[in-house]
Amino acid sequence: MERVPILKIGDILLVSIQTDMSDQTAVQLQEDLAERIVATGCHGVIIDITALDIVDSFVGRMLSTIASISKVLDAETVVVGMRPAVAITLVELGLSLNGIRTALNVERGMELIAAARADEHDLAFDDQADADTTASS
């Protein structure tokens, strides 16, 4: 059975889907990814679908599920490299990939995750600062 490789780059896991997904491959990918997120403590997942010619409701649901799983494990998911033809087809079919963030390419996806992480850090520090000020007053 084919397995989709998961690569670790710094704080991010990169999944590049090269073949048409079967039910089994999708389930396997979800399991592998969940394990890797926990094992590595990564906070970002980038799914590259540049090679996919067709994204149907099955693949759409798989992406949504992966995003939800990652979310629970505190990792941000970004889908990158969607082809124009795929995007047009999805729009014509009325399929919107709800709750999935997208970026044009892997580079932009990494920037997006970095920015999201930075925002969270800012928030955390703000909370800390608020706590400090309340304590001191």
Interaction between residue 9 and other proteins (CB under 8 A): no
- The answer to whether residues 45 and 37 touch, using CB atoms and an 8 Å cutoff, is yes
Out of 108, 114, 116, 117, the only residue in the binding site for other proteins (CB under 8 A) is: 108
Interaction between residue 83 and other proteins (CB under 8 A): yes
The least distance separating other proteins from the CB of residue 49, rounded to whole angstroms, comes to: 10
Out of 107, 122, 130, 132, the only residue in the binding site for other proteins (CB under 8 A) is: 107
C-alpha 20/C-alpha 58 separation (Å) is 11
Out of 18, 22, 57, 105, the only residue in the binding site for other proteins (CB under 8 A) is: 105
Closest CA to 106 of 11, 8, 16: 16
* Helical packing angle, 23-40 and 57-72, nearest 10°: 20
Looking at the chain, list the stretches that DSSP marks H as alpha helix, in order from N- to C-terminal side.
Answer: 23-40, 57-72, 84-93, 106-136
Interaction between residue 117 and other proteins (CB under 8 A): no
**Residue (33 or 82) nearer to other proteins, CB:** 82
Interaction between residue 63 and other proteins (CB under 8 A): no
C-alpha distance across the termini of the chain, in Å: 63
For binding to other proteins (CB under 8 A), which residues are involved? 78-80, 82-84, 86-88, 90-92, 96-97, 101-105, 107-109, 112
